[in-house]
Every structure is written in structure tokens, then in C-alpha cells.
Amino acid sequence: MKNPILTAAAIAALSVAGLTAQPRGDNSFHNGGTGPGTTTQATDPATLAARQVTFLTQLLTLTIGQQTQATTLFTALITANQALDTQEATARTALIAAIKANNTTTITAQATTLGNLEAQSISNTAKADAAFYALLTADQKTKLDAINNGGFLGSEFGIHVPGGGH
């Protein structure tokens, strides 16, 4: 390892930044809203994207043009994934009802729906990551690769800076 303390500090910084840029769940317990579809400043896609781009600008020294493009990419990603979150909340509610009713057919259907929604979210995030990565200079890619251990792994699987989302 090059410098384990520097690596650990970078990982910690990215983890905190990634967590603060993530949208909250679509229920009132998490975001103080009144239910699915409620948007607050903490979950507004433009606000979340701006926060993420600010962090990435500090980390990678993004140009104004890169910032503009990244903001557009991440706002679209967060908006798309928040729509999936609303659908996921509906499917989870139906799954809970099916569990309580011991309705195995509906359990299977809702589990399949939830799996498909998760796959869409992962795909959305990976596509945004790819588009963001394509915006970077060779030096910026090298810097991001060093921090991200050579690649992008969604937040469910490891450290993840660009894209945010789920």
C-alpha cells in the first residue's frame, strides 16, 4: 500500500460526502415530508446534485463546463432514482400486506418488482457514472481511480462518489 493513513482518510472523506449527498427515503420518518413524492430541500434533486458537484469540484478541480455537465447528469439521475424510490415504497407496502395475508403469489410478484426497481437504479447510476467519467481529463481520471480503487462500485457495494442515487 502506498500510504494506508492517506487511503483511510480519503475513504472516510468520500464516505461522508457520499452519505450527505444521498437522498433520503420517501417516508416522513426519514425526511420530514408527508409521504411519497414529498420533496424537501434535503431531497431536492438540484440541491443534491449541486452538493455533489461542489464536492467533486474540490476533489478533482472540475472546470466550469464539467461542473455544468455533471450537475445536469446528477440532477437527472437523482430525479430518476427518486421516482423509483416512490415505486419501491408502493411495492414494499404491497409486499408487507402480502406477507400478512400469506399470499405467496403476491409475495413473489412484489419481490420481482423490487428486484427490477433495484436493477433500474443500479443501471441509472452506472450510466451516470460512465457519462461523468467520460467528462474527466486523464489526470482527473487517475486521481478518481486512485481514490475509488480503480473503478466505480455503486454505494451498495463500496465507495462511490459520482452519481449518488440510491
What is the number of residues in the chain? Answer: 166
Residue 54 CA to residue 5 CA, distance in Å, equals 25
96 Cβ contact list (under 8 Å, min separation 6): none
pLDDT tens-digit series, residues 77-106: 999 999 999 999 999 999 999 999 999 999
Task: Give the pTM.
Answer: 0.67
pLDDT tens-digit series, residues 110-163: 999 999 999 999 999 999 999 999 999 999 999 988 887 655 544 433 444 555
pLDDT tens-digit series, residues 28-67: 333 334 444 555 667 899 999 999 999 999 999 999 999 9
Judged by phi (left if over 0) then psi (alpha if -120 to 50, else beta), residue 52 lies in alpha
* Per-residue model confidence (pLDDT) at position 19: 41
